Amino acid sequence: MCGIVGYIGAQQAQPILLDSLHRLEYRGYDSAGIAVVGDTLQVEKCAGKVSALEAKHPHFSGTWGIGHTRWATHGPPTDSNAHPFLDATGQFALIHNGIIENYQGLRQELVTAGVPLTSQTDSEVLVQLIARADKGDTLAAVRSVLNRVEGSYGIVVIHRGRQELVAARNQSPLVIGLSTGEQFVASDIPAMLRYTNEMVYLQDGQLARLTPSSVEISDLAGASVPLRSETITWNAEDAERGGYEHFMLKEIFEQPKAILETMLERVPDLDLGLETVRLPRRIRLVACGTAFHAAMLGKVLMEQIAGIPSEAILASEFTFSGAVGEPGLVIAISQSGETLDTLSAVREARRRGAQVVAVCNVMGSTLTRETEHVLMTRAGPEIGVAATKTFTSQLVALYLLAAYLGRRNRHLEAEQVSRLVAELRRLPRLVQGVLDNHQAIQMTAEWIASAKDAFFIGRQFNYPTALEGALKLKEISYIHAEGYAAGELKHGPIALFGKDTPVIAIVPKDETYAKMINAIRESGARGTPVIAIATEGDQEVAQVADIVIRIPESEPRLSPVLATVALQLLSYYVAKYRGCEIDKPRNLAKSVTVE
């Protein structure tokens, strides 16, 4: 949640801050603000997007400063609740991502001391406390206050008379960008890629002091921490729209490449770098949101391909599960590697002695640093809030992992492994076949764009696909949508069916086909229009569905990838017809770093 950026160097800070905030706006767009140090500490902020901030035409001269784009937690999105926050004397400015759990007590302490507070946020108490703790050393004041704080934070602080940025993190990501004569800090890499690709990941409990010529890292006790940087292989163009109208559409069309990159050097030999993973008797897959739908399919794959009993558990519910302490393998799935619920589940699993494999798209993220075994998805940067290429890359990683475990425990014969790998290698081309059909999908989207409700149905491998399709539609088009296992329709949902409630049925040629045809017939008998996602050449489905979107024929277990791409395009075009903010859906943020 929330986008944070800071700059210090020889260039004018304001243009860099605004440019970087635009690149971080997928993390929150309720309000925005900047603070720049010149002859004075200059601040401009407002409710709304970064464009609303720019419309106020700030003209700040100064070579260091901070910027913020907010996803609201404490207090509504108003001008007064926007960041940065100043202390009562106007000496300090602060930006914050996270939640201060003991802020009520800290706030009361300030009120009792007569300190005027101007917002409803938990963030403002930090800057007021830092100003009261200051004895001429910003880093020392920040450290003193943070030792009293409970909760999560990524903060950057500036003082009007000291040429430095002070940053700190706990359970909320911060990355430092290194360059010659200037330094950057941000909550995510894309904010800085135009300026540098040399990054340092702050870890929980660490603080950093940035000057134009140096970066020093220490911990909450004051001990120095060695500086370790990584070179990012993405480039700035990877995080641009590249001629596409929206990031989401660009990222949908990048899926053949993302899938290929995820498989490169890993097939045909299934070299996943996981030799030290012990063969488990049981697997639990933990994730949130879209990644949880990957986990649900992963459960089926682990059982069918690897022959290992498995369970998919929402990360936010994992610590309440009685299965937490059982021996076995936990597979944690997160696009960003910063999803706080997933990190909490991983920490609990490790505390109880479980081995953990992380499936993640961001090397150097908290999840990859805290997990011994990592399977990277290699999808590249994903800017659109609604996950697309990262989801299908997660699915491919889970296919690879299931085949790897199935081979190791001899559930699969060598010939079966070879056949599955051969089908996986066809997948980028098959996905491109779905993308080539985008015009037909766009025409279908216009047909349902006026709907208020929609139902997605599938079975076995494609029940998670139905859930993901429904999530995508509701995320970006704001149409109420539900996903169901098709066999459940007659147990309640069918009561809502009628001419105004389209059903999207995922019905590839697999062992569930006959039952899916029956479900379509049941829906049509209630006057419900049906859109079928079906295999090329299937004539029977055209006799029972109103519209058929074709996907290439594939090994049945791979059909969720192809159906998902079709559903992503369908949701995208529906949202476009409805005039929705596709890359920045309301109330959502890309990386969920609060519980």
Same domain, yes or no: 410 and 446: no
> Domain with 305 in it: what CATH number?
3.40.50.10490
In-domain check, residue 374: yes
Q: Would strands 283-287 and 329-334 be described as parallel, antiparallel, or unpaired?
A: parallel
Query: Is 590 considered catalytic here?
Result: yes
390: tokens are 């990262």
Query: How far is the CA of 490 from the CAs of 372, 458, 465, in angstroms?
Result: 45, 14, 20
CA 342 to mean position of chain CA atoms: 11
SS3 186: strand
Q: Final residue of a domain: which of 200, 216, 237? A: 237
Q: Final residue of a domain: which of 408, 427, 446? A: 427
Q: What is the CA angle 147-152-153, rounded to 5? A: 80
- Using the predicted structure, report yes or no on whether residue 29 has a pLDDT greater than 80: no
Confidence tier at 325 by pLDDT (50, 70, 90):
low
In-domain check, residue 154: yes
169-189 pLDDT, tens digit per residue, is: 998 889 999 999 999 999 888
**pLDDT computed for residue 385 by the predictor:** 87
Confidence tier at 379 by pLDDT (50, 70, 90):
very high
Same domain, yes or no: 230 and 263: no
Confidence tier at 260 by pLDDT (50, 70, 90):
very high
Which residue has better confidence, 497 or 547?
A: 547
In-domain check, residue 588: no
DSSP 593: -
| H-type alpha helices, 273-388 | 289-304, 315-318, 340-351, 366-370
Residues 141, 164: contact at Cβ < 8 Å? Answer: no
* Residue of 389, 472, 576, 590 marked catalytic: 590
- Using the predicted structure, report yes or no on whether residue 165 has a pLDDT greater than 90: yes
Q: Final residue of a domain: which of 237, 270, 297? A: 237
Residues 541, 534: contact at Cβ < 8 Å? Answer: yes
Confidence tier at 76 by pLDDT (50, 70, 90):
confident
269-320 pLDDT, tens digit per residue, is: 999 999 999 999 999 999 999 999 999 999 999 999 999 999 999 999 987 7
DSSP string, 212-279: TTEEEEEETTS-EE----EE----GGGGS-TT-SSHHHHHHHTHHHHHHHHHTTTTTTT--S-TTSPP
Same domain, yes or no: 224 and 265: no
When mean pLDDT is compared across 208-222, 321-335, 370-384, the lowest value belongs to: 321-335
Same domain, yes or no: 350 and 212: no
Same domain, yes or no: 256 and 211: no
SS3 526: coil
438-466 pLDDT, tens digit per residue, is: 999 999 999 899 999 999 999 999 999 99
User: Which residues lie closer than 8 Å to 543 by C-beta, 6 or more apart?
Assistant: none
Which contiguous run of DSSP H or E holds residue 373?
A: strand 373-376
SS3 141: helix
Confidence tier at 592 by pLDDT (50, 70, 90):
low
Number of Cα atoms under 13 Å in the Cβ half of residue 494: 16
Query: Whose structure tokens read 């903010």?
Result: 581
Same domain, yes or no: 81 and 159: yes
Same domain, yes or no: 449 and 563: yes
Same domain, yes or no: 54 and 184: yes
Same domain, yes or no: 222 and 307: no
Q: Which residues of 118-130 are buried (b: 16+ CB within 10 A; e: fewer)?
A: ebebbbbbbbbbb
> Nearest-CA neighbor of 432 among 256, 250, 254?
256
Which residue has better confidence, 240 or 361?
A: 361
Lateral strand order in the sheet of 530-535: 480-485, 453-458, 503-507, 530-535, 547-551
% helix, strand, coil for the chain, step of 5: 40, 25, 40
Q: Which domain holds residue 352?
A: 241-427
Find the mean pLDDT for residues 392-416: 96
In-domain check, residue 593: no
SS3 183: strand
- Using the predicted structure, report yes or no on whether residue 31 has a pLDDT greater than 90: no
Same domain, yes or no: 411 and 445: no
Same domain, yes or no: 230 and 246: no
Number of Cα atoms under 13 Å in the Cβ half of residue 488: 13
* Residue of 2, 46, 288, 360 marked catalytic: 2
DSSP string, 281-307: S-EEEEE-HHHHHHHHHHHHHHHHTS-
Query: Is 46 considered catalytic here?
Result: no
| Domains contained in the chain, number | 3
284: tokens are 């639990």
SS3 158: strand
Give pTM, 2 decimals: 0.77
DSSP string, 401-437: HHHHHHHHTTSS-HHHHHHHHHHHHHHHHHHHHHHTT
**pLDDT computed for residue 586 by the predictor:** 80
> Domain with 14 in it: what CATH number?
3.60.20.10
Cis status, amide bond into 280, omega within 30 of 0: no
Same domain, yes or no: 222 and 245: no
Q: Report the mean per-residue pLDDT for the chain.
A: 92
